[in-house]
Structure 1
Amino acid sequence: MSSIKLNAVEKWFGEVQVIKGVDLEISEGEFVIFVGPSGCGKSTLLRMIAGLEETSRGQIMIGDRDATAEPPSKRGLAMVFQSYALYPHMSVRENVGFPLKSAGLPKSEVDAKVNEAARVLKLDDYMDRRPKDLSGGQRQRVAIGRSIVRDPTAFLFDEPLSNLDAALRVEMRYEIAKLHQTLKSTMIYVTHDQVEAMTLADRIVVLEFGKIAQVGTPRELYERPANLFVAQFIGSPRMNVVPATALTGVMLPDGAVSVGMRPEHIAIVPAGAGQMDGTVDVLEYLGADTFIILSCGSAGQITVRVNVNSDLVSGDSVGLAVASEMLHAFDADGQAMR
């Protein structure tokens, strides 16, 4: 287990810069998740840490040593990919123990480490099966087990759940969270799924065009986004953003150009009684929640989340009210003002 530190790291492909001077410190035992839209550089940054991509400039520290120029085999890291990459002709036991057998460890030591990994990942009943006889979630657990036996300084996960269906994703999120609690290892995890990020991470790194837009705990990013990009990327449904001029009767900081409102912070009131009016377009009933989607003239489309049954129907005119302390003001550059 080790800390990882990135000092002004850059990655260039020819004349194209994809990682633009990233500084980041990951503490020993911390679970950090990289999120961002496709093409933001999150997988490239992970591969640079792993040594699978050369670092064009800057420094990568693993613990107290400079690992920037080290090959992947010397970094002591274990990477779990989106693809399980299991050997189809080997049993689960053989797949999990393969890295140790290849390293020439004694059979007794290999067996002990494999059995411990099986216990941690609840694979005991599957050790003599072949990968084709396993579900997707079980195969991913085998891939993780192959990493565990190496006793790495840190685990790197590159979208490990993207091949699984919705139910298995939920199950594996739980498995990975429990794994981190058990091993207390440093983990870096890449995903485009903000639900995975919000539920698993100690801290989230939001990337935008090869730069860090914000780093913080899930709560910090949700409640205090640093800019418009983070405000609308974190949260589902996304934060509503309207021109500052679209709201009436609200005190905003000087220079505020746009205002953000989380869907759950907006109340439906009679038309004319709130900060703006709208017309109901669609109601999406999801059981515990209902999403009310409204057209609000120059403010555009607004989504409101309510946790009670609504009697509204498409075409109804209503008012929208939000407490001023729940508003997020942004300047002309999209930076948060409060």
Structure 2
Amino acid sequence: MSSITLKAVEKWFGNAQVIKGVDLSIDEGEFVIFVGPSGCGKSTLLRMIAGLEETSRGQILVGDRDATAEPPNKRGLAMVFQSYALYPHMSVRENVGFPLKSAGLPKADVDAKVDEAARVLKLDAYLDRRPKDLSGGQRQRVAIGRSIVRDPTAFLFDEPLSNLDAALRVEMRYEIAKLHQTLKSTMIYVTHDQVEAMTLADRIVVLDFGKIAQVGSPRELYEKPANLFVAQFIGSPRMNVMPATSVAELTLPKTAISVGIRPEHIDLVKKGAGQIDGTVDVLEYLGADTFVILSCAEAGQITVRVTGSATCKPGDVVGLSMPTTRVHAFDADGLAIR
């Protein structure tokens, strides 16, 4: 295991700059996840760490070693891709052990490492099967096993669950979380799925057009977003944002241009009893929760999360009560001011 440090890292494709001076320190054994919308540079940044993309400017350190100019095979990192890239004619045992066999290790050593990886990933019963006889989740575990046997300095995951259906993604999130607890290895993980980021990461790096918008624990990003971009990217449903002038009854900083509040922090009350009123448009019943979507004049569309079934119905006019302590204020540049 080792720490990974990025110092003023940039990536240019011709005249287009896609990574714009990123500084980041990842501690040994830490699980860090890069998130952001499509095109924000998260996969490019991961590939730069892996050595699969050249670093245009800046430094990448693996431990205390400057790895900026090193080829991928010298960095000691293992990458797990979105595609499993398994050899269809090989068994699970042969696929997992292939990197070691290619490196010329004795068969006994290869077998021992493969058996240990299979134990950790619960693949013991599948070692003699071919990839076509495995589920998507099992194939992804084989791909991860192929990385584990190399005993890498750190694991790099590039959207490894995006090819799986919803149920398998939940299962594999659990498997990856347990894997990190077992191996205690440094892991860097790229995803566009904020649920994966919130449930897996020690820290999340939110990227916006090649720059870091905020770095912090899942709780820090959810409860104290540094700007409007993070406030609306982290959280599902997303944070409600409205003009500060639309909720005049709230005591706000003078520089506040917009305010935000999470759907679960709004209470539905009688008309006129809250800061604003709204007309119920749609109810989205999800079992434990219901999302109430309302039209609120100048404030725009507002989503409220209520527990269980909502007592209101489309067309009802209700009040929205927003505790001041739960309201986030943002200035003209979109930066949080409280």
Question: Could you tell me the TM-score, scaled by structure 1's length?
Answer: 1.00
SS of the residue aligned with 1:256? coil
> How big is each residue's C-alpha offset from its partner over 1:94-123, in whole Å with a ceiling of 9 and x where there is no partner?
000000000000111101100000000000
Letter in 1 for 2:259: V
Percentage identity across paired residues of the two chains: 84
Question: 1:156 maps to what in 2?
Answer: 156
Letter in 2 for 1:164: L
SS of the residue aligned with 1:46? helix
Letter in 2 for 1:91: S
Correspondences of 1:202-221 after superposition (within 5 Å): 202-221=202-221
Question: 2:330 maps to what in 1?
Answer: 330
SS of the residue aligned with 1:253? coil
Deviation at 1:310, TM superposition (A): 1.5
Deviation at 1:248, TM superposition (A): 3.0
Deviation at 1:23, TM superposition (A): 0.1
Q: Is 1:48 aligned to residue 48 of structure 2?
A: yes
Question: 1:62 maps to what in 2?
Answer: 62
Question: 1:23 maps to what in 2?
Answer: 23
Question: 2:231 maps to what in 1?
Answer: 231
Question: 1:85 maps to what in 2?
Answer: 85
Question: 1:136 maps to what in 2?
Answer: 136
Letter in 1 for 2:49: I
Question: 2:278 maps to what in 1?
Answer: 278
Mapped to 1, the partners of 2:228 and 2:238 lie a distance apart of: 11
Question: 1:249 maps to what in 2?
Answer: 249
> How big is each residue's C-alpha offset from its partner over 1:247-300, in whole Å with a ceiling of 9 and x where there is no partner?
032110111000001000000011111010100000000000000000001111
Asked if the contact 2:33/2:191 (under 8 Å) is kept, the reply is: yes
Correspondences of 1:90-105 after superposition (within 5 Å): 90-105=90-105
Letter in 2 for 1:132: K
Mapped to 2, the partners of 1:178 and 1:25 lie a distance apart of: 24
Letter in 1 for 2:200: L
Q: Is 1:311 aligned to residue 311 of structure 2?
A: yes
Correspondences of 1:139-218 after superposition (within 5 Å): 139-218=139-218
Mapped to 2, the partners of 1:139 and 1:309 lie a distance apart of: 40
Deviant stretches of 4+, over 3 Å: none
| Range with bigger deviation, 243-252 or 196-205 | 243-252
Mapped to 1, the partners of 2:308 and 2:195 lie a distance apart of: 23
Letter in 2 for 1:32: V
Gaps of 5+ in 1: none
Letter in 2 for 1:212: I
Gaps of 5+ in 2: none
Mapped to 2, the partners of 1:13 and 1:64 lie a distance apart of: 28
Question: 1:7 maps to what in 2?
Answer: 7
Deviation at 1:320, TM superposition (A): 0.3
Letter in 1 for 2:30: E
Asked if the contact 2:287/2:308 (under 8 Å) is kept, the reply is: no
Mapped to 1, the partners of 2:236 and 2:250 lie a distance apart of: 25
Mapped to 2, the partners of 1:250 and 1:224 lie a distance apart of: 19
Deviation at 1:309, TM superposition (A): 1.8
Equivalences, count: 338
Mapped to 2, the partners of 1:69 and 1:273 lie a distance apart of: 63
RMSD: 0.4
Letter in 2 for 1:287: G
Question: 2:297 maps to what in 1?
Answer: 297
| Range with bigger deviation, 73-82 or 243-252 | 243-252
Letter in 2 for 1:196: E
SS of the residue aligned with 1:336? coil
